[in-house]
Amino acid sequence: MNLLKQITDKELFGIDGHNYEEPYKAARAVLLDDNNLVAVLYLKKLNFYTLPGGGIDVGETMQQALAREMQEETGCYIDIVCELGIIEENSLIYNWSGASSCFIAKTKGEKGLLHLTQEEIDQETQVHWYNIHEALEIIINQNISARDEREAGIVKFIQKRDIVLLNEAIKMLKT
């Protein structure tokens, strides 16, 4: 998979530094339903929007992890349309290193019930569906300043990652 973007402290905060720990590996998608609406998670307690996806468990392929995460977080079984690439996040400030394998996927069958982790339940996670341009605007324009400094910094990485992912999907889908 090609590298789409490296997001660093330098880009977001103007500070040099590199975290040399093994990156957290994850699979994420721009998930489209039959009406070409995109799944966007809303974490109500954090007042934060993000795209679905999560960690790759031991023994899972990227594709298996993606299918599991989409089913858990959106209630949908999926077909992978295409690979978009990898987005790397690296922060010495926040002691974070991640590598997300990114895809475009379509829902398969009916939308079902979410199967959230306890943390996601505690955050009152919901799935909303928007056209891709609305999803991008929501993620770009969300207020991330009303947080403690560490949380705000981490959220900036997530926000940037999701913006890159949505823009790549828009180019690929030519919408």
pLDDT (tens digit, 9 = 90+) per residue, 56-86?
A: 999 999 999 999 999 999 999 999 999 999 9
Residue tagged 């947080």 (tokens): 147
Amino acid at 108: K
pLDDT (tens digit, 9 = 90+) per residue, 125-145?
A: 999 999 999 999 999 999 876
Domains of the chain: 3-173 (3.90.79.10)
Token output for 123: 């955050």
Amino acid at 18: H
Token output for 114: 């979410």
Q: What's the rounded Cα separation, in Å, for the pair 160 and 140?
A: 8
Token output for 88: 């790397």
